[in-house]
Amino acid sequence: MATTTWQAVLTWRSHQQQLAPDIDRQELDWLLREVAGVPLERQRWAAPGDRLELRCPLAAIADLWQQRIRQRCPVQYLAGHAPWRDLELQVSPAVLIPRPETELIIDLAIAWSQAEPARQTGFWADLGTGSGAIAIALARALPQITVLAVDVSAEALAIARNNAARYGLSDRIRWYQGSWLVPLADYRGQLQAIISNPPYIPTQEWQALEPEVRDHEPRQALESGPDGLEALRHLAQAAPDYLRSLGLWLCEHMAGQSTAVTALLAAIPGYSEIQSHRDLAGRDRFVSASWSA
Ligand SMILES: C[S@@+](CC[C@H](N)C(=O)[O-])C[C@H]1O[C@@H](n2cnc3c(N)ncnc32)[C@H](O)[C@@H]1O
């Protein structure tokens, strides 16, 4: 704990903002709130001399801010957690920082499940679980399902397990390390739904990403071959062996890949009701399909 005044915090904040005029000032405020516990929303009612108890000295936030500026490290990694839907998830450079647009995949899955009570049961797979965001949100929204969460990264799975434990979901999610559906051989023909936000960035575009992403987030969470479709192609081809009849295939993809992903599914006999879905910015970002054995 550290004691200071509002005036000291606001003077310090203005100085730190000037050190990095190109970085959105909300990122510094986020660190002040999330790491030091500064209640910035109360600022307008505070007098300059009012005292404030901080969780850590401002010097510690200054160190983090320097890492943000010099190393271009995302603030979520510096704080060690990220907000996502109504969750607060532990993150580290071993996992992708869960993105706001991915929140919609949960709404799409819930909407599908509401058409029939039977869909709200059984085994649902989250392939490439990362921080566990999708697995945890699905388990919370659908209390009768069991989620099978897979990732190739053991470090990511350790973080995902911690996150699930924090929400009391350890007995609702089973964890598997391995490639996509390979660890789920025991569930062939039984999956109610396969949900995934796989890597989908073409190799050339990965190289051109901003340093916050390219130099800090795991490459295997982002890049997926020359056309960005390697993982999605594999998931389209492998899923039919694992889905039960009328099961759901639902994946996120990059903006601009919608036609290619729907074509991948349409080329495989048995997929029907192939649909594109938009994110809140109006871009096609998800494809769903029903599998008929
Ligand atoms: C785009 S991230 C998604 C993470 C998380 N689901 C989310 O939405 O924030 C893709 C994830 O797929 C995992 N992954 C990459 N290749 C994989 C493979 N062959 N099998 C299983 N998981 C894989 C990565 O480790 C990463 O966690």
In a domain, 152, yes or no: yes
Cα separation values, 120 from 52, 132, 193, Å: 47, 20, 10
Mutate to test the pocket of ligand 1, among 96, 229, 230, 234 (most ligand atoms within 8 A of CB): 96
How far, in Å, is the centroid of ligand 1 from the Cα of 129?
A: 6
- Give residue 284's domain range: 94-291
Does the annotation flag 49 for ligand binding?
Answer: no
ipTM exceeds 0.90: yes
Question: 102-130 burial, b for 16+ CB within 10 Å, e for fewer?
Answer: bbbbbebbeebbeeeeebbebbbbbbbbb
Asked, for residue 272, whether it belongs to a domain, the answer is yes
Using the 3D structure, point to which of 37, 70, 103 is the last residue of a domain: 70
**Which residues have C-beta within 8 Å of that of residue 161, sequence separation ≥ 6?**
132, 170, 175
DSSP conformational letter for 142: -
Q: pLDDT of the chain along its 293 residues, tens only?
A: 889 999 999 999 999 999 999 999 999 999 999 999 999 998 889 899 999 999 999 999 999 999 999 999 999 999 999 999 999 999 999 999 999 999 999 999 999 999 999 999 999 999 999 999 999 999 999 999 999 999 999 999 999 999 999 999 999 999 999 999 999 999 999 999 999 999 999 999 999 999 999 999 999 999 999 999 999 999 999 999 999 999 999 999 999 999 999 999 999 999 999 999 999 999 999 999 999 97
Amino acid of residue 175: W
Assigned domain for 172 exists: yes
The answer on 243 and 146 residing in a single domain is: yes
If asked whether residues 123 and 38 sit together in one domain, one would say: no
Please tell me whether residues 24 and 112 are part of one structural domain.
no
For the CA of 126, the closest atom of ligand 1 is: 6
Closest of 158, 150, 154, 202 to residue 179, by C-alpha? 150
Q: Say which CATH number the domain at 213 has.
A: 3.40.50.150
**Same domain for 258 and 180?**
yes
What tokens appear for 7 in the block? 């005036």
Q: Are 200 and 229 in contact (CB under 8 A)?
A: yes
Give the phi and the psi of residue 134 in degrees, each rounded to 5.
Answer: -70, -45
Does 87 reside within a domain?
Answer: no
Residues 56 and 190 in one domain: no
In a domain, 82, yes or no: no
Total number of domains constituting the chain? 2
Helices 230-238 and 258-266 meet at what angle, rounded to 10? 30
Which atom of ligand 1 lies nearest, measured to the CA of 105? 8
Residue 218 annotated as part of some ligand binding site: no
- Flag whether 36 is in a domain: yes
Q: Is there a domain that residue 173 lies in?
A: yes
